[in-house]
Amino acid sequence: MKGSSWSWTGPLSSLVKSSAWAVLPATGRLILSARFGYLVPDFPTQTHVFFWREIQALRDMGEQVFLVSTRKPSPLACRHDFALAATKETHYLYPPSAASLLTWAAAGCPGLPQALGYLGELGSSGTMHRFRQCGFLAVAIELVEWASRTRIDHVHGHSCANSAHVLALAHRLGGPSFSLTLHGDLDAYGGDHRSKMKDAAFICAVGSHLVGQIRERANITNALVTCMGVKTEELGKLGKDRSYVSGQLHVATVARLHPAKGHLHALAAVRRAHQSGLKIHYTIAGEGPHKDAILSKIHQFGLENQVTLTGSLSETEVYQLLSKVDAFLLPSTGLGEAWPVSVMEAMGAGLPVIASAIGATPEMITPDRNGFLVSQGDEAALFNKMMLLGADLETRHRIGTAARRTARQRFDVSVTAGLLREAIQKAVTADLKRR
């Protein structure tokens, strides 16, 4: 099977109604290629490089991917090389155009009773909530009109927050089938999850723990475990000339500067390692609201010479950092962490990772084989793993080699994007058969 082609055995009348194109090859089979929308809220921003990776992987497989987002972010929100090209090709739903609303109204407001029925299901009430619901409806109309003009068969949304309401409403208004990816704990994505998800063709959950949440709290069974992949071939080229010096350790964290990322716990462990005689350096890459607190803690601990803050880095700069350091650290706490892309990248670069047991990290890391897991907030455990890697070069090399092998087998973007592609193909085929 090449590209997005797959066999169609349903009635020709259903195919003709679809926006998918079709050819009849020498085999006599009818071949379809879906045109699908790919929705990421506020796209692109600094953390969206993994979405762009997946988009490119899908296109490399022959898929026709059309980018759509809720609103355009600031031009300063993304430092990556792809930002300008991505912004130019993305259709932004907010503010909805008058032309789309007028076209829908002139057609007799198709799907309005079904959309109002959806809004009536939602749990919250009050004037402000109803005002927001009207906004969701207007944006959903814009999505339906864009999908019709672009001949979209399906839209996959990478969020289960408000944009999921927009996708569900668009479907009620007669728009295309849709699917969702849940990237973290449900509590971080608002409420009314049953309403958002019940009409979705499928739900991708970034970790088995999230599948459990979807089943238990939204009563949804069509969920599958997935993740956002990384470029393991490129990452595999990093660090091959990395020097291993006993008694010396350079660790790094790549994450937004937020209390949940656990930087202060890492700094406490770094101070203790430094006081214990380890020649240690800690590089923190990222920006965010917790920067002042981190700087204050660095000053309090007297670690000005042991810690470097780089600010946000481009993908190329992240790769350069991973090529230089000896180990990677992700000491996150609380909710919101799922299947951390930074951990996959570090493992792909052959780095031993010390990570909190949070989200899907226990699914990614087998302790003492391809990485290390510690309890959330356990500064003593962070310190102990740093000291081990600083002193034991054989363990450092063994764990890093196993991490690279795990990433190549499980985390490559061609593998993870292929799972999404297959699910969308099945959803489009099923939708055609229902028509």
- Give the pairing of strands 91-92 and 154-157: unpaired
Nearest to 351 by CA among 395, 316, 389, 403: 403
The radius of gyration of the chain's CA atoms, rounded to the nearest angstrom, is: 24
* The pLDDT of residue 338: 85
Cβ pair 348, 230 in contact under 8 A: yes
Query: Order of strands across the sheet with 6-8?
Result: 6-8, 30-33, 21-23
What pTM was estimated for this model as a whole? 0.82
> Running along the chain, 435 residues long, what does each successive block of 10 average in pLDDT?
37 42 41 81 91 94 95 89 94 96 96 94 74 90 97 95 96 96 90 94 92 90 90 90 88 96 98 98 96 98 98 91 96 87 95 95 95 98 98 96 95 93 91 76
* The pLDDT of residue 79: 81
* The pLDDT of residue 87: 95
Nearest to 57 by CA among 431, 428, 367, 418: 418
Nearest to 388 by CA among 323, 298, 326: 326
CA 320 – CA 216 distance, rounded (Å): 42
* The pLDDT of residue 124: 67
* The pLDDT of residue 30: 43
The structure tokens listed for 348 are: 């792909």
* The pLDDT of residue 128: 76
* The pLDDT of residue 4: 37
* The pLDDT of residue 19: 44
* The pLDDT of residue 125: 61
* The pLDDT of residue 2: 33
**Crossing angle of helices 162-172 and 112-121, rounded to 10°:** 140
Going along the chain from its start, the domains and CATH numbers come out as: 6-229+413-434 (3.40.50.2000), 232-410 (3.40.50.2000)
For every residue of 119-167, which 3-state class applies, written as one string?
HHHCCCCCHHHHHHHHHHHHHHHHHHHHHHHHCCCEEEECCCCHHHHHH
- Cα–Cα–Cα angle for 48, 54, 60, rounded to 5 degrees: 140
Quickly tell me which residue has 């809220």 as its tokens: 41
Cβ pair 204, 232 in contact under 8 A: no
For every residue of 36-95, which 3-state class applies, written as one string?
EEEECCCCCCHHHHHHHHHHHHHHHCCCEEEEEECCCCCHHHCCCCCHHHHHHHCEECCC
